[in-house]
Structure 1
Amino acid sequence: MKKLLFGTILAGVVAIGAACSNNASQSSMQGHDMSNMSTKEEKTPKTSEVNEQLPLATSTQVLSSKEINLTAKEALLQINDKVKFPVYTYNGSVPGAQIRIKQGDRVKIYFKNELPEPTTIHWHGYPVPNSQDGVPGVTMDAIKPGETFTYEFTATVPGTYFYHSHQESAKQVDKGLYGTLIVEPKNEEKVDRDYTLVLDEWMSNPDEGNMDMSGMDHSNMGHGNSSDNQHMDMSSMGHDMSMYDIFTINGKSGSAVKPLKVKKGEKVRLRLINAGYMSHKLHLHGHEFKIVATDGQPLKDPQPIKDELLNIAPGERYDIEFIANNPGEWLLECHGDMEGTDGMKVKIQYEDQTNNTDKANAKEDLPIVDMTKYGKHELGQFTLDQKYDVEYTMDLGTAMGKDGMIFTINGKTYPETAPVNVKKGDLVKVKLVNNSPKDLHPMHLHGHFFQVLSKNGKPITGSPLIKDTLNLKPGEEYVVAFKADNPGNWMFHCHDLHHASAGMVTEVKYKDYKSDYTPDPNDITNKGE
């Protein structure tokens, strides 16, 4: 039973973990099936790999009613003029249909599974009731082919979020099974243009090899756009993330990415979501911009910045705003030197004004925004020296297990990791320490937001920083705090897919929570691996 539950929970954890290998994101392993272990000469998948009977993926819908129909189904995704993949979609597109609702709305999502395998939906970053969190074997049974399920929750917290499969997520999210969730504030300051950009990575030959990466050494995966820390020796059971050789924005790469149209004088918001395996460093050319929110939560008095890189880790979201005051054609581009980097850029085109033409410069040496010093400093809900009901230290590590590399919390792998045991109303402080020598660990908490209080022993000096996903580089230490205000059993795990599946998972467990759901130990469809 415990073994079944472990596998089930990992499915959801793994689903979330898709993020990019470069500076970008890591979303799925669909086109990211660990299979392209040969050459990169052939950029177009073999005919046998593409089911031409499937429909082509359509452009992303925007669903804005309180009752929404979502269908998971197969399609073909034309990433660029050379590469087409069979993918999993929500409502026939990658990213899936955007759910756009207003704060206070009571939302029902009528979900139908038309895939050939079970699936679920997890609402990444959103504090839904525990029963709606979409983790098979923990909060619900996986939804079998042909079956339906109704998700229901009240949109209490505005901001930028996304949703994705939590069932066998290493495969399903990688096959494109993710979409965006935008909750508009009741009293929102309007912008003239509002664009959502989802980052991801793919392989040009996704179906060669089908190599099982479980237990492999993923120690250099997805930790920057530099070739010197991306290439690994496969003879030592490592994984070369340069196999992810196509980076995408909204399911398209390079010239296939649809330009963003603006007019002079307009205020423009860009919602940046990393659904992939890697961190991506983005540069907005030609304009000052403000970072107005991270993980959906607003920042206090953000100051204008220019020619600085915004580093977005797997699972993170950033909202930026700029005034279109420099007519011409400009770029938002990913920085780095991996093969796919050049494809992760989008043109910003002024309508009827093209007196400036921008040039890509993905290797320009620019500083990275330090979010711990950004915005106006003021005290948030929590402070370092106040009294907490629960304190927990999370030592994140890498070790060699009997079957390969493992990723540990306090020396243990899930389900042997000690949970964070809380009661409703408790104030909880967690110290996160990355003791892995080479690995980044984007740590993600389900069902709650936490405030970042300090980095490497120094208090945050910028805006109160409220997040649900926090990226730790090797040697870094953060202290975060949250209130236990959403009863249930919640995952707290590394959002690197491979680290989670190799053990870096624990739970926040409410002692006084009684779930109405009981996992069926005989239901083999509840798979989390």
Structure 2
Amino acid sequence: MKLKIAGFLLLFLFILGACSSAESTDSEQTESSRKETAKTEVLTGNTFDLVAEEAAHSLNSEVDVEAWTFNNSVPGPELRVKEGEEIKINLKNKLPDPVTIHWHGVPLENNMDGIPGVTQNAVQPGDSYTYNFTASVPGTYMYHTHQDGVNQVDKGLYGSLIVEPDEVSYDQDYVMMLDEWMSNPVTMDMANMDHENMSGMGDSEESAEEKSMADDMSNYDIFTINGKSGDEVETLTVKEGEKVRLRLANIGFMSHQIHLHGHDFKVVAIDGQEIKNPDDIKDQLLSIAPGERYDIEFTADNPGEWYLECHGEMEGTKGMKARIQYENQENESTDKPNDTIDLPKFDFMTYGEDKKAAFTLDQIYDVEYTMNLNTEAKNNATVYTINRKTYPDTDNIQVEKGDLVKVKLVNKSDSEDHPMHLHGHFFQVLSKNGKPAEGAPILKDTINVKPGDEYIVAFKADNPGNWLFHCHDLHHASAGMVSLVSYKDYIVDFSPDPDVNNKPE
């Protein structure tokens, strides 16, 4: 009997050991076969395939994160198309959650805007979706998921779209996407909450704690350029005499103060829109808010090694810098990073050559609307409101095609910026804090309204649809700061599916 028991014990231990060995082998295989991101590709033409998929991504020499990617890179492919081209993008979703693609800043038909529950249903895991539109306006644009964006954009699900004009005036052209990451990520499900009373945020101490962690920007401790930080950021190589264009696009959730060392430069476009006769400036900080794009140009006339860097005091600041290296340089630059030097900030309200503008402050408008932006406490939670309401209960801006629309944006929050982004249109900035714009007319799709500030902007309602007008700090959008520009009599050509988990932010 004892021998039988001993035999059974030996057999049990053998099986247990075999199972442990198999589990170990499976774990090793999973670890060794884990997909890692590749270098971002530049794709040209008019038809593109974008695959949303997971991969391990290295931010710097010390920190890897589990990223969500387009085509296995962060950022996703840089798409370069020609002005006027009809383009087609085929999206395949290999992620565990639904996704969409929003073409940030691009004027296109409403049904191609990529907003779940508003212009389409979210693309489910394993499914595909095709976007078709005309690249009608040249400029620097971005694409990113608009499904649960506060989490999915945070994971890396974005890229750049460059619409090139018929003729270019530069020799080198670099896209630089600015972002920030958490070395210890906090995942939020704010977009799944009931924004009527925000009860989902007050149901437990855990949810309130998670929200506080996500809203604390100090958790973002790694700043990146094109998905890399510090010494991992790719060097920008130039030749003496070349005209160099840098396209600075902020896909993150906070503003970044960018300084170009050693060269005069011009701000030639903001949010993709060219500026009339831009002036030469030097040693000014470009404050680039979430959703904004600044194109600058400089002549490579100062051989050596220089820096483009972020200024500030946050932990991640020092990682957001890139070297500018001259080819075949004979002299060595003594330039060193200096992210704390006090420099003046660039002011687009007084920049460029004054010329006749499409809109003025004193003309007659068909629609006038005021957006009071605020931070409020409701049901033991912080919400972000437009005129004291949270999405989807915010009041839409109702327009008819052809209307001239004037909007006043007022930030009543004590300490938080609100970079407000309008889909499907460009607006002209008319005034700031009661002072009219003095330089060239500035056309934008995103404007950063700081606490206490007031901007007046105007646009023509010339693109029928239902268009989001929201804060591009997606923590704020997910907690309510979203409204719509809604065209009367516009007929939506899809049926929202209640079972697909549409999360428009």
TM-score, normalised with respect to structure 1: 0.84
1:307 to 261, 283, 288: 283
Query: Amino acid of the residue matched to residue 90 of structure 1?
Result: F
CA displacement 1:299-324 (0-9 Å, x = unmatched): 11110000100000000000000000
Within the candidate set 110, 113, 132, 1:152 is matched to 132
| Corresponding residue of 1:5 | none
Unaligned runs of 5+ in 2: 1-26, 194-207
Counterpart contact for 2:85–2:134, Cα < 8 Å: yes
**Aligned equivalents of 1:402, 1:259: Cα separation in 2:** 49
Q: Give the drift of 1:357.
A: 3.4
Question: Does the CA-based 8 Å contact 2:151-2:188 persist in structure 1?
Answer: no
1:475 matched to 2:444:
no
2:175 corresponds, among 196, 209, 216, to: 196
Partners of 1:257 and 1:315 in 2: CA distance: 21
- The 8 Å contact of residues 262 and 350 in structure 1, kept in 2 or not, is answered as yes
1:285 — aligned with what? Answer: 261
Are the equivalent residues in 2 in contact too, given 1:160–1:182 (CA < 8 A)?
yes
Match of 1:115 in 2: 95
- Structure 2 distance, partners of 1:243, 1:433, is 28
1:178 match: 158
Task: Tell me the equivalent position of 1:265.
Answer: 241
Q: Going by fraction, where is helix more abundant, 1 or 2?
A: 2
Deviations 1:209-253 (A, max 9, x none): x576789xxxxxxxxxxxxxxxxx979957432221110000110
Counterparts of 1:395-474 in structure 2 under 5 Å?
Answer: 395-474=372-451
Indicate which of 126, 130, 141 corresponds to 2:106. Answer: 126
1:498 alignment partner, SS class: helix
Q: Distance in 1 between matches of 2:485 and 2:437?
A: 25
Q: 1:506 Cα shift? A: 0.7
| 2:273 is equivalent to residue 297 of structure 1 | yes
- Taking every aligned residue pair, what percent have the same amino acid on both sides? 61
Equivalent position SS for 1:161: strand
Q: Is the 8 A contact 2:229 2:319 kept in 1?
A: yes
Q: Contact 1:277–1:314 at 8 Å: present in 2 too?
A: yes
Could you tell me whether the CA contact under 8 Å between 1:94 and 1:251 is conserved in 2? yes
Residue 411 (structure 1) shift: 1.4
The SS at the match of 1:500 is helix
Change (3 A) 1:237 1:181: closer
- Whether contact under 8 Å (1:424, 1:512) holds in the other structure is no
Is the partner of 2:308 in helix, strand or coil? strand
The CA deviation at 1:291 is 0.2
Cα distance in 1, alignment partners of residues 447 and 260 from structure 2: 23
Matched to 2:338, the amino acid is N
Which amino acid in structure 2 is aligned with residue 451 of structure 1? Q
Per-residue Cα deviation, 1:102-159 (whole angstroms, up to 9, x for no partner): 0110001111111122111000111111000001111111111111111000110000
Would the aligned equivalents of 1:234 and 1:240 in 2 still touch at CA under 8 Å?
no
SS of match in other structure, 1:120:
coil
SS at match of 1:338: coil
Change in 2 beyond 3 A, CA 1:75/1:237: closer
Letter of the 1:95 counterpart: P
Partner Cα separation in structure 2 for residue 120 and residue 131 of structure 1 = 12
Contact 1:74 1:92 in 2 (8 A): yes
Whether 1:349 and 2:328 are equivalent positions in the alignment is: no
Candidates 74, 80, 89, aligned match of 2:54: 74
Matched residues, number: 461
Residue 316 of structure 1 corresponds to 292
1:61-100 mapped onto 2 (5 Å cutoff): 61-100=41-80
Instruction: Name 2:185's counterpart in structure 1.
Output: 206
Name the stretch that deviates more: 92-101 or 496-505: 496-505
For each residue in 1:152-200, what CA deviation from the matched residue of structure 2 results, as whole angstroms up to 9, or x when unmatched? 00110000000000111121111100000000012x2331100000000
2:135 and 2:382 mapped to 1: Cα distance?
Answer: 40
Q: State the structure with bigger RCO (CA 8 A, min sep 6), 1 or 2.
A: 1
What does the per-residue CA deviation read over 1:407-432, in whole Å, with 9 as the maximum and x for residues that have no partner? 11111111221110000111101011
Q: Does 1:392 align with 2:372?
A: no
Between the aligned partners of 2:379 and 2:160, the Cα distance in structure 1 is 39
TM-score of the two chains, using structure 2 as the length reference: 0.88
Following TM superposition, by how much is the alpha carbon of 1:53 offset from its aligned partner in structure 2, in angstroms?
A: 2.9
- Deviation of residue 527 (structure 1)? 2.8
Is 1:104 equivalent to 2:90 in the alignment? no
Write the letter of the residue equivalent to 1:205: N
CA contact (8 A) 1:198 1:274 kept: yes
User: Is the partner of 1:96 in helix, strand or coil?
Assistant: coil
Closer, same or farther: CA 112–236 of 1 in aligned 2, 3 Å: closer
Larger Cα-atom Rg: 2
Structural RMSD (CA): 1.9
* Residue 223 of structure 2 corresponds to residue 247 of structure 1: yes
Q: Distance in 2 between matches of 1:175 and 1:448?
A: 27
Q: Secondary structure at the match of 1:255?
A: helix
Structure 1 distance, partners of 2:504, 2:367, is 29
**Secondary structure of residue in 1 paired with 2:111:** helix
| TM-superposition CA deviations, 1:252-287 (whole Å, max 9, x none) | 100011100001110000000001011000000000
> Comparing 286-295 with 60-69, which one deviates more in the overlay?
60-69
1:482 shift after superposition: 0.4
Q: Structure 2 CA distance, aligned partners of 1:59 and 1:312? A: 25
Which residue does the alignment assign to 2:202?
A: none
Quote the offset at 1:478 in angstroms.
0.7
- Aligned residue identity for 1:278: M
Q: Report the alpha carbon displacement of residue 406 of structure 1 after superposing the two structures with TM.
A: 1.4
| Distance across 1 between alignment mates of 2:178 and 2:278 | 24
Q: Which residue of 2 aligns with 1:375?
A: 352
Change (3 A) 1:234 1:175: closer
Q: 1:473 to 1:487 in 2, by over 3 A?
A: same
- 1:506 is aligned, of 476, 479, 483, to 483
Whole-Å Cα distance in 1 between the matches of residues 188 and 118 of structure 2? 28
Distance 1:276 1:81 in 2: 21
The match for 1:485 is 462
